[in-house]
Every structure is written in structure tokens, then in C-alpha cells.
Amino acid sequence: MMKNLSRYWMCQLGGWGAWFATNAFFYFSLSDPDKEKEPLRYSGLLLFVIVLGIFFSHMMRLCIKEYKLLKMPIQRQIFYFLLLTAIFSVLYSSVLVSLTTLLDIHLKEDNIPLLNKLIGNAITIFILFLIWNLIYYIYHYVERNRKQELDTLKLESTVKELELKTIKSHINPHFIFNALNSIRALVDENPARARTAITELSNILRSSMQAEKLETVPLEKELGIVKDYLALEKMRFEERLNIEMHIDEDTLSQPVPPMMLQTLVENAIKHGISKKINGGVVRIVSDFVGDHHVLLVQNTGQLNGVVNSDGFGIKSTQDRLNLLYQGKAKFDIKNLNSDIVESKVTMPVHPVLVIK
């Protein structure tokens, strides 16, 4: 039966039951036995008081819900809570005094004047109802804040998930567009190489479609995509593109955001190598530095002026790292010297992902 009771009724019965038990304990344990001639009458009166208390406190709750007091501004809430408490205290006291007088269920030696009894009961029950209202208000205030926090967390999680999906939805079309341009450049010049390039592209697309389902992939898998991409670009640039890789084998199992390294390499070629008549070098480095995994993409070229953080490759890398690692990963791009640009990604060795 208790399992079927709502939390509200459990609190109602528990609270008023505790008040009944406290009064009964002090009455039977501390009163003079010679003067206790009607314990049954007192118990009946106390039980009657409890029943009235439950009834009026429940009616008070119905008024709070009906008039939506909990949704009012705090100043109005305080005013109406006090007013409601006072009104129900007077009503409770009036009904209690009237019924006990009419039914003669009060103690025989109780000769207190009716008005004094009415005022005394009203003051006592006002305190009880005020405590009841405070508990009720605090409970709903805490519950409302907890629900708001949960809703906020759910909203933030949804927003981050949507942002990450949006970033991913831009990465693949962006890559395909550049890859198709590379293939188009080969179609008339060398059809055989174009066919090879299409095969390379299909391998990359297959890998990227699989990576779309994951938030991170092992570096080894990401390097496979990068090598296919560089093989395709090598057909386009030929001797103008030199590739160097310095990969610590221990880093191959480290998780990295899918297509991130490929995007950085793509930018290195698009904004660096392709701008140079004689081409240049693209160098990829993966190593451990302290308790961080560092990825470097260095390329021949120069950052002319201020880095444009609105550029897709840079912005997508920054956004993905922020979403996935919550500030524990860093991205930086700078001129390493007069002829080399360096893109650097620093990630924790054991990342704690926030989006699953």
C-alpha cells in the first residue's frame, strides 16, 4: 500500500504522524499521573486535531496549485503564502473550537475562555502551517532548480551534439570538393592517373563514411586516410610536393577526431604548397610531450598577416577540440620561421570525451 502512495501523501502522513507522536509522548510521559483522568479523551482529541490538520493543509496545497503561487514573483509569493497561512489558521482554529465544543470532546478540566482558545489555537496552527508551507516551498524550489539544471545540461548536450554533427557535415563536402578538383586536373592530362586517383578517392570516402559514426578514431586509421589523400595530391603536384612523416609508433593507438589531421594537411597544401611555384614540403609529426599527444603539420609557406580564425579548416579544428575535450586540448597555427607554417594540436593522452 505504501508503494502506491505519492511522495506528497507520504510526507503528509509522516509529518503529521510525527507531530501526533511527539505530543502523545510528552502528554503521557511528563504529565502528573494523578491528573491524567482521561487519556483516551486526549488521544481522541489529538487524533481529531491531526485529521483536521491533514485536511486543511491539503486544501491549502490545492489553493497554492490553483492560483499558481509558486510561479509568481518572490515578493508576491511571500505575501500570498503568509496570507494563505493566516486564513487557513483562522479557519482551522474556528472549526476545531466549534466542533470540540459542540461534540464535547475536549478535556473536562479545560475551562479556557472560547475567544482565548480560538486565538491560542490559531497562533499554534499558524506556526505549524507556516513550517508546512516553508517545507513545501523549499521542496518545490529545489526540485524546480534541479529540473532546470537537468534541462540545461540536456540542452547543452544537444547543442554540442548538433554543433559536432554540423562540423562533420561540412568536413566531408569540403574534402570531396577539393579532391574532385584534383581529379579533374588529371582527367585530360593523364587518364590512367585519373583512374588511380578515383580509386584513392573511393578509399578515402569509404574511410570517412566509417569515421562519421565515431567521435574519435585511432591515429593509425586517420593516417591511412591522410596517406590516401597525399597519394592523390602527389599525382596532381608531382615533384612540387614532398612528404615527410615522423610518427612515434607508440602514438598510433591514440584517439584523434576523425578527418581532423586530413583537414590540416589539406589546408597545408591548399594555402601553402599550391601557392609556391616550386612547391614545398608537408611534414607530419606525432609524438608524446609530457602527458600530452602532440600532432604537428608543417608546410612550406607563410601566414600573411593575422591568421583568419573564420577559415573553415582552422575554425572546425578549434570547435571540434573544444567540444570533445572541454578546453583540455589546444590548437595553434603560426609561422615557425620565414618559410615554414606549423599547425599544432595538443591533446591529453587519455582524453575524457563529453559527447558519446
Render pLDDT for 78-125 as a digit per residue (tens, 0 to 9). 898 899 999 999 998 888 888 777 666 554 445 667 777 788 888 988
Q: What pLDDT is attached to residue 356?
A: 37
Does the domain at 190-348 match CATH 3.40.80.10? Answer given as: no
Q: Which residues contact 105 (CB under 8 A, 6 or more apart)?
A: 41, 44, 45, 48, 99
For residues 238-259, give the mean pLDDT. 92
Compare 290 and 355 and report the one with higher pLDDT: 290
- CB of 345 within 8 A of CB of 329? yes
Strand pairing class (217-218; 241-247): unpaired
Question: How do residues 257-275 score in pLDDT, each as one tens digit?
Answer: 887 898 899 889 888 998 8
Q: What pLDDT is attached to residue 232?
A: 80
pLDDT tier at 169 (50, 70, 90 boundaries)?
Answer: low
**Region of poorest pLDDT, from 15-19, 215-219, 264-268, 309-313:** 309-313
pLDDT tier at 143 (50, 70, 90 boundaries)?
Answer: confident
Share of the chain above pLDDT 90, in %: 23
- CB of 281 within 8 A of CB of 300? yes
Give alpha helix (H) positions in the chain.
Answer: 7-30, 39-66, 74-103, 114-187, 191-211, 219-237, 260-271, 312-325
Q: What pLDDT is attached to residue 101?
A: 72
Q: What pLDDT is attached to residue 248?
A: 95
Compare 39 and 12 and report the one with higher pLDDT: 12
Residue given cell 609556391 in the structure block: 276
pLDDT tier at 344 (50, 70, 90 boundaries)?
Answer: very high
3-state secondary structure of 234: helix
For residues 56-79, give the mean pLDDT. 88
- CB of 256 within 8 A of CB of 222? yes
3-state secondary structure of 68: coil
Where are the domains positioned within the chain? 2-152, 190-348
Q: What pLDDT is attached to residue 286?
A: 96
3-state secondary structure of 289: strand
Compare 306 and 180 and report the one with higher pLDDT: 180
Share of the chain above pLDDT 70, in %: 78
For residues 184 and 177, what is the distance between their CA atoms, to the nearest angstrom? 11
3-state secondary structure of 256: strand
Whether 151 has a pLDDT exceeding 50, the answer reads: yes
The residues facing 292 across adjacent strands are 289, 348
Look up the pTM and report it: 0.52
Whether 298 has a pLDDT exceeding 90, the answer reads: yes
Report residue 351 as a C-alpha cell: 582524453
Burial class (CB in 10 A: 0-12, 13-18, 19+), 337: exposed
Compare 195 and 176 and report the one with higher pLDDT: 195
Q: What pLDDT is attached to residue 198?
A: 87
- CB of 280 within 8 A of CB of 318? no
For residues 62 and 68, what is the distance between their CA atoms, to the nearest angstrom? 10
The mean pLDDT of the chain is: 80
Burial class (CB in 10 A: 0-12, 13-18, 19+), 106: buried
pLDDT tier at 251 (50, 70, 90 boundaries)?
Answer: very high
Strands of the sheet containing 340-348, edge to edge, are: 241-247, 280-289, 292-300, 340-348, 330-335
Report residue 324 as a C-alpha cell: 570533445
Report residue 236 as a C-alpha cell: 596532381
C-alpha closest to that of 95 among 111, 113, 117, 112: 117
**Region of poorest pLDDT, from 52-66, 163-177, 202-216, 288-302:** 163-177
Q: What pLDDT is attached to residue 351?
A: 47
For residues 194 and 230, what is the distance between their CA atoms, to the nearest angstrom? 14
Going by the DSSP 8-state scheme, the letter that residue 216 receives in this structure is -
For residues 198 and 180, what is the distance between their CA atoms, to the nearest angstrom? 9
